[in-house]
Amino acid sequence: MGAPHICIEGVNKVFASEGREVVALQDIHLEIPRGQFTCLLGPSGCGKSTLLNAVAGFAPPSSGAITVDGLPVSAPGPQRGMVFQEYALFPWMTVAQNVGFGLEIKGVPRAEAAATVERLLGMLSLLDFRQRYPKDLSGGMRQRAAIARVLALDSPIMLMDEPFGALDALTRRNLQDELLRIWAELKKTILFVTHSIEEAIYLADRIVVMSYRPGTVKRDVLVELPRVRDPADPAFNALKRELGMLVMEEQQRHHLAELRMAAVD
């Protein structure tokens, strides 16, 4: 085992919101090895996006440190690509242009860029859709294009914030399978946010369960089930029940907090 790829050390994040302080993250420590597929799991409001955005370099922590390859993260950078839930594609560009956009910005020679775009369109089953605009694609196709666009930059780290949250169950499973295939082939380090317990168990090497306000690491588990995982497998279900209890506790804390807020207002 070498040095961790991503190191999160004593990270705190406090937001001031309507005169109140919200401790979104409290004393988060995580060492993420190169090539690990890690899921951040927890109900809405427990700081998953805040942590991912801090690793991305979009919004720095209030205190603590994040390093990638031992270097402090202070801004977005080429080692870290981000895929959001709402496909961040340019509506005025075709699929192929969207996928190639970052390569053009980087000044990659045209022929080389075209070959890369072609390869990625193939990898994500988008070859027949290359000339379409985002508005003429299904949600699943748009997410494929968004993933291809991040892969084009060849970032060793992929940060994914509920990327499949808006998709129907079948499309979601297809994209999960494709992501696992790409991950195995390209050996990326993936930090993937979800509030779906099943999605986390289906995908991850490691699941970090977060607590609601303050957002802390409530449980950090390695998932050792062989892939392709089967949600009908008893071991899958045992883990699902165990994690389900933890997530439910946090969900209840969320509801109680909302009731309390409503009572104060």
Tokens of 86: 């709402």
Q: Look at strands 189-194 and 206-210 and give their pairing.
A: unpaired
By C-beta, is 88 or 235 nearer to Mg ion? 88
Cα→Cα distances 143→104, 189, 194, 209, 240, Å? 21, 19, 15, 25, 26
Site string for Mg ion, 114-143 (x = CB under 5 A): ------------------------------
How many Å apart are CA 178 and CA 181, to the nearest integer? Answer: 5
Sole window of 42-50, 78-86, 174-182, 199-207 interacting with ligand ADP (rule: CB under 6 A): 42-50
Question: Residue 251 interacts with ligand ADP (CB under 6 A)?
Answer: no
Burial of 19-55, coded b for 16+ CB within 10 Å and e otherwise, reads: eeebbbbbebebebebebbbbbbbbebbbbbbbbbbb
Contact with ligand ADP (CB under 6 A): which of 5, 37, 45, 54? 45
Sole window of 42-50, 122-130, 180-188, 222-230 interacting with Mg ion (rule: CB under 5 A): 42-50
Q: Which strands sit side by side in the sheet containing 217-222, from one edge to the other?
A: 80-83, 157-161, 189-194, 37-41, 206-210, 217-222
CB 81, CB 68: distance < 8 Å: no
Contact with ligand ADP (CB under 6 A): which of 9, 12, 14, 22? 22
Site string for ligand ADP, 203-242 (x = CB under 6 A): ----------x-----------------------------
Question: Residue 48 interacts with ligand ADP (CB under 6 A)?
Answer: yes
Min dist. Cβ of residue 49 to Mg ion (A): 3
Question: Residue 211 interacts with Mg ion (CB under 5 A)?
Answer: no
Question: Residue 49 interacts with Mg ion (CB under 5 A)?
Answer: yes
Sole window of 46-54, 99-107, 198-206, 229-237 interacting with ligand ADP (rule: CB under 6 A): 46-54
Question: Residue 50 interacts with ligand ADP (CB under 6 A)?
Answer: yes
Min dist. Cβ of residue 84 to ligand ADP (A): 12
Question: Residue 17 interacts with ligand ADP (CB under 6 A)?
Answer: yes
Min dist. Cβ of residue 20 to ligand ADP (A): 9
Type of residue numbered 110: R
Residue 62: alpha-carbon gap to chain centroid: 21
In sign, the C-alpha dihedral spanning 88, 91, 96, 98 is negative
Residue 195: alpha-carbon gap to chain centroid: 11
Measured from the Cβ of residue 125, the count of other Cβ atoms closer than 10 Å reads 14
Q: Which residues bind ligand ADP (CB under 6 A)?
A: 15, 17, 22, 24, 42, 44-50, 213
